[in-house]
Amino acid sequence: MNALSEQILSELRGLLSQMSDGGSVGPSVYDTARALQFHGNDPERQDAYAWLIAQQQADGGWGSTDFPLFRHVPTWAVLLALQRAGPIPGAADAVRSATRFLQRQPDPYAHTVPEDAPIGAELILPQLCGDAASLLGGMAFPRHPALLPLRQACLVKLGAMEALPSGHPLLHSWEAWGTSPTTACPDDHGSIGISPAATAAWRAHAVTRGSTPQVGRAEAYLQAASRATRSRIEGVVPNVWPINVFEPCWSLYTLHLAGLFAHPALAEAVGGIVAQLDARLGMRGLGPALHFAADADDTAVAMCVLRLAGRDPAVDALRHFEVGELFVTFPGERNASVSTNIHALHALRLLGKPAVGTSAYVEANRNPHGLWDNEKWHVSWLYPTAHAVAALAQGESHWRDERALAALLHAQRDDGGWGAGRASTFEETAYALFALHVIDGSEDLTGRRRIAQAVARALGWMLARYAAHALPQTPLWIGKELYCPTRVVRVAELAGLWLAFRWGRRVLAEQAGLAS
């Protein structure tokens, strides 16, 4: 076997074998700022403040300049955290720059709420704006008025509940609405809604009521969540943790997209994860973590993985998320997710169940170029496109879509990669390759030749940037801000590279055979 292939498979085995520690997630600006705010001005957290300041962009805001919708939440949070902290080197300049940034930015929530708004924006942003109004005076900041009725409706709903059950989705944003620790209780991980920000807020409220064993559990959770970022900076935490269902589910699903699910070199690691998922999937379905509410997305992907492994999961675990012809990710969500319905379609087709309405919904949610975008869980159109192509092609021999093919090839950058922002990324290039691999299965020699040329260019781009055991850095997944589930993304990167490399060798062999 080629040395590169063996190196990739070895790293994949290592990643899969590590997926029993709760998951690996990159550091979050928003959650770190909120956790620092609720922790008080602790001298031992100075490195975390320095890390926050180092993440500030040249224009004064935080978050990727490629995706402005996701910059308000982290920028507000850091601005307020720095304002409330004691003397910190560089803080005053950072605050001034952030203030100018917010004053200049157009308000994306002035009239409507975008379909792909960050998680909890209707609760979080109005609260941050209110805090800023009292702390910073009457400066002309964006006020996000379109979010106010949504926040009010949510608060009315919450007011009618005495306490939410552990793992309820609204607990994930507890820091934006919770005022009493009695409205929530730490789960078995010690978290409030698998959210470091929510847990830090709950802990601060609970401390004022007197120390209890649950405060210690919350503190232990925050320390474990900090370790999951691999930052080695005390107080720097991720956007969400644990992800001990989401991480293995998406990793194995990605292996399928690359044709690696049944690879003998990964059989032992895959089999161990499949056995765990089989034991965990009940009639209620699965959520992103063991002690969080079940949702259609995680349930559908888990069912795909189990079916691919030869198991026979009960379709009822998915059906109770069905509303009309759609699947809702969580009951009561503001808008449906395209990718959740894509995954539901894929699961139903793998199980041989009818899915006419879901298929029609997925087809109807293409953009004019024949691709899928405006997705609420991932900022790149390449993610839902790769998954939609796989779902629609499931069970269809020689499936092909000329519109999607033409748009994918047209979107390839001059450097050989793909990306929804201003630069190509390894993750998104892998998704493009997964989609092209499905479309390549036809007998149209001209189309296959064009795909082969695109793959060769992509392989060159990937090889120039590949480094063994490198941690992904680009946050493209949508939470309260953009975040990076490190192992999930790394599995995609490696699977994409493996696919491109094996594909390139096959094309060369075919060309050599034709020449002879």
What is the value of pTM for the model shown? 0.95
CA dihedral 361, 366, 370, 376 (to 10 degrees): -130
- For 347-378, the pLDDT digits (tens) are 999 999 999 999 999 999 999 999 999 899 99
Give CA–CA dist 125/271, Å, rounded.
43
- Contact (Cβ atoms closer than 8 angstroms) between residue 406 and residue 361: no
In the chain, the domains with their CATH numbers are 3-21+243-515 (1.50.10.20), 29-228 (1.50.10.160)
Tell me what pLDDT residue 513 has.
Answer: 55
In angstroms, the Cα distances linking 44 to 47, 49, 205, 219 are 7, 10, 21, 15
Give CA–CA dist 348/360, Å, rounded.
14
Which residue did the predictor score with more confidence, 495 or 331? 495
Read off the pLDDT band of 143 (50, 70, 90). Answer: confident
- Contact (Cβ atoms closer than 8 angstroms) between residue 83 and residue 134: no
Lowest-confidence region among 151-160, 207-216, 317-326, 418-427:
207-216
- Contact (Cβ atoms closer than 8 angstroms) between residue 384 and residue 478: no
Mean of pLDDT values over 114-139? 87
